[in-house]
Amino acid sequence: MSGDASRLCVDTNILIYATNSASVWHTLATTRLQALRHQGAVLVLSQQIVREYMAVAARMRDIAGGLTTAEILENIGVFRTEFMVLDDTPGVLDQLVTLLRSIPVADRRVHDANIVATMLVHGVRRLLTHNIGDFARYAHLITVLPLVLPAPIPSDVAEITPDG
């Protein structure tokens, strides 16, 4: 399947921030998602991301009094209507194996590889995440968009060059 430039995968951490009003990243995450939709982006999730969201949100509840199980499940319902959820297919497993042969990873990094494999199979080439380092090894395959955009250099600040 060819890539669709309007589609953008949203990583688990963005969903956690967007649904946790106590997060320091909450406003930024919700604002960024709204802006992307306004710009015409079709926001997508993999089934892996949805499962990760359920696990992380439940763990946060147990640690910090976060969302209840009912609230987590309600959010999953919202995700299923507001995001395109990509299927795990046999092609995703094939792509994951191919990725792991060319970019060997282990442990939890296999989950990130699976997200990338799902994206590639479904023609999605952009990922919004706050954990850009987790996906740096796939930069030749996908474009990683950071949640926090770099601050522009003010025009009144002189550029420092090696020559002084």
Per-residue confidence in pLDDT tens, the chain, 164 aa: 445 679 999 999 999 999 998 889 999 999 999 999 999 999 999 999 999 999 999 988 767 667 889 999 999 999 999 999 999 999 999 999 999 999 989 888 999 999 999 999 999 999 999 999 999 999 999 999 999 876 666 665 555 444 44
Answer yes or no: are the C-beta atoms of 21 and 138 closer than 8 Å. Answer: no
Domain carrying residue 11: 7-146
Answer yes or no: are the C-beta atoms of 33 and 14 closer than 8 Å. Answer: yes
> Quick check: is 109 in a domain?
yes
pTM above 0.85, yes or no: yes
* Domain at 92, CATH number: 3.40.50.1010
β-strand pairing of 126-129 with 7-10: parallel
> Quick check: is 156 in a domain?
no
